[in-house]
A and B are shown apart, each in its own frame.
Chain A
């Protein structure tokens, strides 16, 4: 395995994914802000949450990209479309399983069943994260397709192999 290539393209992929999601927020397509959601697990301080969440998101991005790399080795090659295909599955997983688990794992997230409490006030994402805007699934999907395509397209030595 090429560790340097994994670190580099895992980093680039995560940055591009974060940028695309952030652009979607700016364009009012979604309110889903993964660094903010992750950061508020650790602190209620909005500014610090965004910074901490970004660091956590970067690490998670690297960890997920390991799965992508493992899949490339299993296939024996990496191409942008294979990466994008894994990205599609990744996005589906995040939107269905990940978002559903969030209220249970997040100490500051309200649940739809109990409503907000003094401790839990963050809006839960709901099915397919639709609570954050009905275009959220599309935004998440595009961002993850880009993440996978970058890894598949550039991860050496398997890219294009």
Chain B
């Protein structure tokens, strides 16, 4: 994956950009060969048979693909250029650009470039025409693409562009694709200018990574996960999208294909803890700002997902023109889960705010009123059935995880009040309901027959989300009930080698092991449910399931280790980071998950959350 914190593109092992939505994550695609071979791609690779090895330039999101062929080797560098604010003040740079540089390292090698844009999920024919020295212009309904390259052009036609060259050791060729929708496009020169764009981008990413304070186990995997989160954070608003893709199947050939290019409130608390834990304070603050701002239109009720600016995603629809990944149909855009009720989101949002306060942030009066409003909503609705964390389309129920998160919401609000961050809250009401919820969960969620907490009150099914009861501080990881629950989950949901299914019901038959649930299992051990060695081994085992450049999808096929579902998935990387953080704290003799909110002591330079 390459990106510029506004959108991302996926590059295949054979040098083809097979997924790109411009100008933002949830825009219609320009390349979607990932979902249908005829839906557009940008291929640049040797013409002869080759083998590839891929890696990112250290501490960056700049991808390098090395091609080894019988006659020579070449390296392809792919990036979406980024630059510091200072550089942007002094340079005219395109709003959106993909830059590809291919260099022959050894021998000689014939390379070919094929560009076949198919705008609007291949629903719209592109208008392609040569514009002389300005490049090749491709009009789409959304804006203008301009291709500029110093590869000799072979063909410019209605369906695409083809160019090729023979490169000898040391020779480089450049290709730049820009997109403009609001104003005249910027046409970057090639050659030295492109090299400078690479240098600026390397420097920008490496400076960003230098702010990461993490120094614990699996550092490389943690830094790569941080870079994935940074790419999936939409810079203009601070929102973090779940994944840059839609409809990559949870089961190959199946219909569990959803659009993940939106922001789920469910992920809030875990994501904020990961960002703060890594020292990415700016990103965490921006995300909190988005959380509080984006939800204003629906408050005190919260939707479960929003787009990057806090609007409702488009109505879910099926794209019949796309055949799907390995025939996995339908391909969906938009997300119907937006209409569901998930009571857990209140706990997740409020816990995220508690993390913010725990790292020195303060809350203005309007935010305090808003949080109190959330608390009052929870008091009124906590005992209602909801769809729950996994958004099944099989109906509502009394979900244990949702109920515990309602407890979390009130517990954190009471803590914030006790420490002076929250004024005017109906404390007695919050306390009374917190106790009611606690008793409800203790009495009805614990199943004596199976000796485990159950996914639903008075039920007997298991769900990996129960591992979070310790994470949210509802029950100590070392308690009898949690140890038993962990054992039952391993027994019934274990997929081997540390992998866990999220549940086993008719809702998602045949889906893979769930990435973040597997990391929850490892983090449970780090939180005290297991020994240090057990937790460390679990983290190492799970980290090995990343692809060749360290990325995780939503799910993992337990048999083959292949990625399943949308890719890469922020939630899975959040799970890896949080596990590593808990482990690092435990190794350092600290409490693995510090939840103490300090007494409020306003300082002149305090970070304030405003709506």
Contacts and interface: CB of A to CB of B under 8 A. Distances in A.
A123 B90 contact: no
Contacts of A31: 143-144, 180-185
B90 A116 contact: no
B183 A44 contact: no
Contacts of B187: 110, 115-116, 121-123
A132 B192 CA distance: 28
A116 B184 contact: no
Contacts of B185: 31, 123
B183 A112 contact: no
Contact of A44 (B92, B131, B184): B92
A124 B137 CA distance: 13
A2 interface: no
A18 B146 CA distance: 26
B339 to A, nearest CB: 28
A144 to B, nearest CB: 19
Interface string B322-337: 0000000000000000
Contact of A25 (B90, B131, B134, B182): B182
Nearest to A32: B184
B188 interface: yes
Interface stretch (A33-41, A67-75, A78-86): A33-41
Contact of B193 (A112, A115, A118, A132): A118
A133 B141 CA distance: 10
A44 B133 contact: no
B186 interface: yes
Best-buried of A36, A45, A48, A123 by chain B (most CB within 10 Å): A123
A133 B146 CA distance: 13
Contact of A37 (B91, B132, B141, B184): B184
B475 interface: no
B132 A115 contact: yes
A31 B140 CA distance: 12
Contacts of B90: 44-45
A115 B133 CA distance: 5
A33 B91 CA distance: 19
A48 B92 CA distance: 12
Contacts of A25: 182-183
A31 B192 CA distance: 28
Nearest to A134: B139
B181 A121 contact: no
Contacts of A123: 134, 146, 180, 184-187
A121 B180 CA distance: 13
B92 A113 contact: no
Nearest to B180: A31
Interface residues on A, range: 20 to 34
B92 A121 contact: yes
A48 B143 CA distance: 23
Nearest to A35: B183
A40 B92 contact: yes
B494 to A, nearest CB: 51
B89 A28 contact: no
Contact of A112 (B89, B134, B142, B184): B134
Nearest to A36: B183
Interface string B167-207: 00000000000001111111111001100000000000000
A45 B88 contact: yes
Contacts of B183: 25, 31-33, 36-37
A32 B181 CA distance: 10
Interface in B425-473: none
A90 interface: no
A115 B193 CA distance: 14
A115 B92 contact: no
A46 B88 contact: yes
Interface in A1-60: 25, 28, 31-33, 36-37, 40, 43-46, 48
A108 B129 CA distance: 24
Contacts of A121: 92, 186-189
A110 B134 CA distance: 8
Contacts of A131: 131, 137, 184
A125 interface: yes
Interface string A107-140: 0101011111110011111000001110000000
A29 to B, nearest CB: 11
A43 B139 CA distance: 28
A12 to B, nearest CB: 24
Given A110-B134, A116-B134, A121-B187, A44 B91 contact: yes
Contacts of B88: 45-46
A110 B182 CA distance: 18
A123 B131 CA distance: 11
Contacts of A37: 183-184
Contact of B188 (A108, A113, A116, A133): A116
Interface string B105-138: 0000000000000000000000000011111010
Nearest to A34: B183
A33 B184 contact: yes
A92 to B, nearest CB: 20
A136 to B, nearest CB: 10
Nearest to B142: A28
B239 to A, nearest CB: 21
A122 B95 CA distance: 12
Contacts of A48: 89
Nearest to B185: A123
Nearest to B91: A44
Nearest to B144: A31
A25 B90 CA distance: 25
A132 B184 contact: yes
Contacts of A108: 92
A110 B133 CA distance: 10
Contact of B181 (A28, A36, A44, A124): A28
A44 B193 CA distance: 16
Contacts of A43: 89
Contacts of B184: 31-33, 36-37, 122-125, 131-132
A112 B133 contact: yes
A45 B137 CA distance: 25
A124 B131 CA distance: 11
A25 B148 CA distance: 24
A44 B182 contact: no
16 contacts: A31-B182, A36-B183, A44-B90, A44-B91, A44-B92, A46-B88, A110-B187, A115-B132, A115-B133, A116-B188, A116-B189, A118-B193, A121-B187, A121-B189, A122-B184, A123-B180
Given A28-B141, A28-B142, A115-B134, 15 more contacts: A25-B182, A31-B180, A31-B182, A32-B183, A33-B183, A36-B183, A45-B88, A113-B132, A116-B133, A118-B193, A122-B184, A123-B184, A125-B184, A132-B184, A133-B139
Interface of B: 88-92, 131-135, 137, 139, 141-144, 146, 148, 180-189, 192-193
Q: Which 7 A-B pairs have the closest CB atoms?
A: A115-B133, A33-B183, A116-B187, A123-B184, A44-B92, A45-B89, A123-B185
